[in-house]
Amino acid sequence: MRHVGSLVALAIGDALGAPLEGSRQPEVWLAEYRSGGRHFRKKGEFTDDTLQAKAVAESLVAGRGFCETDLVEKLSEAYIVRPEWFGPTSTFFFDLVRSGTLPHRAALIVHKKKQGSRTNGSVMRGFPLGIFYPAPEVYDVSIACSRITHYDPVGGHCSAFLNVMVSDMCRGVSRAAAFRHARSLCTNNEVHAVLGSCDHYDPVPTLDAVLCSHAALHSFMQAKSAEM
């Protein structure tokens, strides 16, 4: 049931936080769905994060594993559903791919044109990888999955760190042990410093892959229950 719970929790958290997406307002306690936000979503309506995670899950099932070509196709299909929901990096990437640019070339173009690709889109879609793959295999797959759209490596390492934890906990490992395992496997200095010492920093609401991942991890590690 932990496998199912991971996906359901992802969608619920996405829908709860959707009205605050991209906001820098002070901390708000959310215990029920609200409407509003940048795209004025209805109560309980999720974002592109859930659409992309669903695409990853469907691709893993269809191909019985990670297949870049199939995943690009399924992510593109998700983009067509609600293009206005997608962030700046993913939007630019999918527009290029749909116009005929090869995915790896598109990711590099976006990185250069946007002067970076540290946004969090590739992190938010990764949980199905943790459900499907055991650690440490999931680490390398997470980086490969992130690299499809986000050329900057930090997003991939953030995704890998969190997905190792998902993988371990879906297989019965405790939260603390999963965290220690993810930290031991992390090979990116910045990600290791921030996520590996998540209790040393206050969470910052931002679209940056490292800071966003830290905010999520900090909250999760401090939580005493599913609500807080």
Radius of gyration of the chain (CA): 16
Predicted pLDDT of residue 22: 61
| Residue 29 covered by a domain | no
Predicted pLDDT of residue 139: 98
Which CATH number goes with the domain that contains 123?
Answer: 1.10.4080.10
Predicted pLDDT of residue 21: 67
Angle at 115 between CA 109 and CA 118, to 5 degrees: 95
Predicted pLDDT of residue 38: 64
Predicted pLDDT of residue 225: 65
Predicted pLDDT of residue 24: 61
- Residue 100 corresponds to which amino acid? G
| Residue 93 covered by a domain | yes
Q: What is this structure's pTM?
A: 0.90
| Residue 21 covered by a domain | no
Predicted pLDDT of residue 210: 97
| Residue 24 covered by a domain | no
Are the C-beta atoms of 147 and 111 separated by less than 8 Å?
A: no
- The domain of 183 spans 48-222
- Long-range (24+ apart) CB contacts under 8 A made by 63-68 are 65/132, 66/129, 66/133, 66/141, 66/144, 66/145, 68/103, 68/144, 68/148
| Residue 8 covered by a domain | no
| Closest C-alpha among 163, 166, 159 to residue 118 | 159
Predicted pLDDT of residue 172: 94
Hey, how many other C-beta atoms are within 10 angstroms of the C-beta on 18? 27
Q: What is the largest CA-CA distance in the chain?
A: 48
| Residue 22 covered by a domain | no
Query: How many structural domains compose the chain?
Result: 1
Query: What does the pLDDT profile of the chain (228 residues) look like in tens digits?
Result: 677 778 888 888 777 776 776 666 555 666 666 666 666 667 767 888 899 999 999 999 999 999 999 999 999 999 999 898 888 888 999 999 999 999 999 999 999 999 999 999 899 999 999 999 999 899 999 999 999 999 999 999 999 999 999 999 999 999 999 999 999 999 999 999 999 999 998 998 788 999 999 999 998 999 876 554
